Amino acid sequence: MTSTDSTDSIDGTSGTTGAVAGSGAEDVASLTRRVEAWIADDPDAFSRNELTAVLQTIRSEDETVREAALEDLRDRFSGSLQFGTAGLRGAMQAGPNRMNRAVILRAAAGLAAYLVDSLGAQDSQPEHKHGLLHRHEPAAPARPKIVVGYDARHNSHTYALDSAAVFTAAGLDVVLLPSALPTPVLAFAVRHLDADAGVMVTASHNPPADNGYKVYLGGRAVTDAGQGAQIVPPFDALIAAKITAAPPAVQVPRAEEGWSIAGPEVLTAYLDAVGALADDTAPRDLSIVVTPLHGVGGAVVDHVLRAAGYQDVFLVPEQADPDPAFPTVAFPNPEEPGAIDLSLAYAQTLGADLVIANDPDADRCAVAVKDHRAEQDFATNSGGDTGPREGWRMLHGDEVGALLGELVASRETSGLLASSIVSSRLLARIAAAHGLDHASTLTGFKWISRVDGLVFGYEEALGYCVDPATVRDKDGISAALLMVQLADRLKAQGRTLVDALDDLARAHGLHLTDQLSARFTDLAQIPLTMQRLRTSPPASLAGSAVIETVDLSDGVDGLPPTDGLRLVAEDGSRVIVRPSGTEPKVKCYLEVIVPVASDASVDEVTEARHTAAGRLQAIRADMSSALGISPA
């Protein structure tokens, strides 16, 4: 969730939105007036009652209770949700700095106004008939077309219906997807239906209390390589300006009907497009455990794999059905510790070959495999009675990205591979080895997916685009199919995905990556942490002198400026530090490269991995010290 202190805010207020900070009586009175004004303009009774109850609490005689309520209100009204990673995202509560119906209504009104204004009537064109020049009245322009999708989180369907009602009232041609579906289906529908825009109501892998609003532009709104991708500047600022100009939520016009509900053919067309990626030569001899982590991808992934000929597909029972409470995981993100423990235990019980985990909106894909090195490491170190004891481990996003990159590159004779600046440098080496180009982009698929000539793109946060012609975004479902088929072919050779990674190490050197991150409850600490690092960066990484310190906010390598810092050591180790675009975190992306002989044995590759792991651990300690955070 991001906020702003500028006067252009989604709540339509003027002046500095942070002016209520402080504990004086005047500040409380000012805050109270702003809250009461919001309540008067909020069409949702639940939100009105919620804020009214908090207002009553600030009058409590208990000072602790009163101050907690004031702090809550100050945070809700400290700014407003802004377009971050291609849309809005935040906790579902009342107030301008939260996700709620009032915010959604004004966001939809602003997006509709932008589409109507930017896709207005064109000048009439002369017509030649019988050798004479005729000029006729301009035809009415086609109504802007928009597709709306939603996941199974709390309020997602409500926010989608509110959006459809606002878009319809504004004169748009609106198609609402028929049920809670994965984000890749919405991204596919934007291009498949030649829509000018798309909205997906989802908070992806965020906590249960959050929701979000992803915006895509296509059709006539964007006609270059970014057609059907999530929004980037200047579109975000143009839409935000329209949102600022929108009336209070209670005054936003809403239609009671008039939008259409997509039939089953849209999902069928998506399934057919993914199915077309299947390799007929794969033996179909693989046992697969799948978990959607209580999200909307379970049935779709199951269908795709079975349609491709895989019969031994097992959904984790406790996590198979959508559940917005995400009851079995502390955090519904496959990257988080413990998130796939149930999957690993289930896979061990079944004797499965592979685990596939999607995040709740199924645009990300995690892969877990058996790795004899993990089993050996467990024997050496203490651990819990879970998957690692049997040798299971989840592949890092960079490992999956390299495997998929090699797979796609080996099939292509032209085109370009792309990855984000925080992802491993291995993909660039893979591209060069196959005579293909490589592009490094800013973090986020809104940048990766719009690279001209893209045939494959990924970012280390488990996002992969394996079919950019049909889905101009990350797609955890098509990626899952390709990983299953790769593992299937390797199994037929008596090999595994781990062996394929060893092959890449022999060809390009062992690239090992890791992350270090700090989560903040006080968002003001994020820029302070970044400034502290810029002022006093580490002089060495794991004992190797830092020879390059680049402030990414200056704009480097032809990329737009972004908040981040890049450190490169003499031995080739690299660290990139940046604030997360979707979570209140500062993240450090670590990478080391260890040379490996082309004919190295398994033991020699294993030794290189241990060397790299030790170097990464030392870099984690260096960066923890530099940032003043725990290395955990």
Rounded Cα gap, residues 315 and 468, in angstroms? 27
CA-CA distances (angstroms) from residue 560 to 45, 162, 457?
Answer: 43, 35, 19
Task: Answer yes or no: 204 catalytic.
Answer: yes
Looking at beta carbons, which pairs linking 550-556 to residues 24 or more positions away fall under 8 Å? Answer: 552/421, 552/576, 552/578
Task: Tell me the two tokens of residue 622.
Answer: 């260096």
Q: Which of 204, 420, 440, 478 is catalytic?
A: 204
Looking at beta carbons, which pairs linking 296-299 to residues 24 or more positions away fall under 8 Å? Answer: 296/151, 296/152, 296/180, 296/181, 296/182, 296/322, 296/360, 296/361, 296/362, 297/182, 297/358, 297/360, 297/361, 297/362, 297/476, 297/477, 298/322, 298/358
CA atoms within 13 A on the CB side of 577: 27
Whose structure tokens read 């996941």? 151
CB distance 246 to 96 below 8 Å? no
Rounded Cα gap, residues 60 and 69, in angstroms? 9
Whose structure tokens read 């997509």? 262
Cis peptide upstream of residue 234 (ω within 30 degrees of 0): yes
Task: Count the neighbouring beta carbons within 10 Å of the beta carbon of residue 276.
Answer: 10
Cβ-Cβ contacts under 8 Å for 18 (sequence gap 6 or more): 5, 78, 79
Rounded Cα gap, residues 589 and 566, in angstroms? 9
Whose structure tokens read 């804020």? 51
| Residues catalogued as catalytic | 204
